[in-house]
Amino acid sequence: MEEPPLNTGLQVIIPQLVYESVDTESDKVVHPNIVDALLESDGPPREKSIERLTGEAVAVVLGGTHSISTVLSIATFHLLRDTERLDRLRRELRSVVRDETALPRWSTLEQLPYLNAIIQEALRLMHGVASRITLVAPDEDLVYVATDDSSHVIPRSSSIGMSSYMIHNDSKLYPDPTAFLPERWLDENGTRDRELDKYMMSFSKGPRQCVGMQ
């Protein structure tokens, strides 16, 4: 199977840019990027290898362009098909956009419940990294307790993982999972309901979750 053109292109272009950053003296950098920041950090030399710098740059490009464009495409597609939800979003945005030449701050947009519900629903349908990200507990058996209180022992050194696609399409968590329903992220008063946040896997979970979450 051939690699996707985007991935192939990144493997060629980004290492070249990394080498350019490494070869450029710090006092001549006009617009510092993530590679420059890592090179100027106090991290050990192993954290500044070409492989590490290239990996970080690829992650930023994919997370900062491909993922965001996919989420925006999903939200735009569904809103253009649903004038009622689109009008509701417009009304909410007009409540904080008094002047088109002075857009609201991000801290203001974070307080808009319907806008954030739309973002959450688009993220759910985008899935993030849909393949399983595995973890291993090498020194102990794990005990999984199900919702019916039954328990299952997972032997040590087992590779454990779960797919965001399966979770985001679980009808027990998200009724009518293939539908675009921003209201599922709101309570009966129309304010943001955080109950489903625990099942949102688009950014993965834990200390190594995607930095794009912020």
Residues 27-67 have pLDDT tens digits of 676 777 777 888 788 888 888 888 888 877 777 777 777 78
- The 10s digit of each residue's pLDDT in 171-209 is 999 999 999 999 999 999 999 999 999 999 888 777 777
Would you state the pLDDT for residue 189?
A: 93
Buried b (16+ CB within 10 A) or exposed e, 178-197: eebbbebbbeeeeebbeeee
Percent pLDDT > 90 in the chain is 45
The response to whether 196 counts as a known ligand-binding position is: no
Is the per-residue pLDDT at 4 higher than 60? no
Q: Which of 97, 90, 98 is nearest to 118 (CA)?
A: 90
